[in-house]
Amino acid sequence: MRLLSYNIHKGIGGHDRRYSLKRIIEVIEHENPDLMLMQEVTHLFARCGGDDQTSLLCEHFHAVDSMYQQNVRLKTGGYGNLLVSRWPIVEKHQISLQLARKKNRGAQIAVVDTPEGRIKIVNLHLGLAEKERHWQIGHLLGHHLFRALDDLPTIIAGDFNDWRNTLSAAAFVPQGYTHLTGPPSRFRSFPAYFPLGSLDKAFFRGDVKVREARIVARAAARWASDHRPLVIDFHLRGAVPQPTS
């Protein structure tokens, strides 16, 4: 099974500032993911031609199920998180991660019914301040909707904005999570044209067996957004492989 996490930057290239959802689609399509966790996806946003990116992406990738969380609302449209699945989502929750008057951020919690069993997938986009991010992760991990699903294998991925890589040791490891995107030097994803920071991260807990985690290095990923996508190939431990024909 393959999961892709991608801050698509509204489809605006981080280097050339050109809007093209087609470039985003081409980058994603080449990876052929089963689960797509996207951040900064727009809905009727004027800068992006008023496109309903949520519908366009779901239609193009023939989504079996999806969920959209609009975190930032503007005079015309807004943007937020989009989770697209090749399999049914049997439980959906959206949690606000807004701290005081800072820009609203959010996390999506989905229980996905995969061919290998059910898994809890979390798609998130954290804030720019370190104290804010630590509060956001504490709020998420302690939230009753999140804790109610603690018996399920879990993958948490998204744009963590964690330049100093402090969240792993301080927040995730004490809760029994494994950091998938370490060391940071192997997972530099921002800025896409010349990556310096490991901002797009993932953590897992429970019966998850990761085969590979990597940042997409294709040339196309340099231009499509200001982030490069993260790809994770995984299985659920003890799952019986499904026939391919």
What's the number of domains the chain is made of?
1
Percent of the chain with pLDDT over 90: 91
Say which CATH number the domain at 153 has: 3.60.10.10
* Helix or strand (DSSP H, E) at 159: strand 154-159
Rounded to whole angstroms, the Cα distance separating 37 from 72 reads 17
Specify if 242 maps to a domain. no
The b/e string for 85-106 (b: 16+ C-beta within 10 A; e otherwise) is bbbebeeebbbebbbeeeebbb
Rounded to whole angstroms, the Cα distance separating 190 from 162 reads 11
| Residue 173 belongs to domain spanning | 2-235
Specify if 245 maps to a domain. no
Does the pTM surpass 0.85? The reply is yes
**DSSP assignment of 160-198:** ---TT--HIIIIIGGGTPEESS-SGGG---BSTTS--B-
157 — pLDDT class (breaks 50, 70, 90): very high
pLDDT in tens, 175-196: 999 999 999 999 999 999 999 9
Predicted confidence (pLDDT) at residue 155 exceeds the cutoff of 90: yes
Specify if 244 maps to a domain. no
Structure-token pair, residue 207 = 């019966």
Check residue 238 and give its pLDDT: 76
The alpha carbon of 207 is separated from its chain's Cα centroid by a whole number of angstroms, namely 20
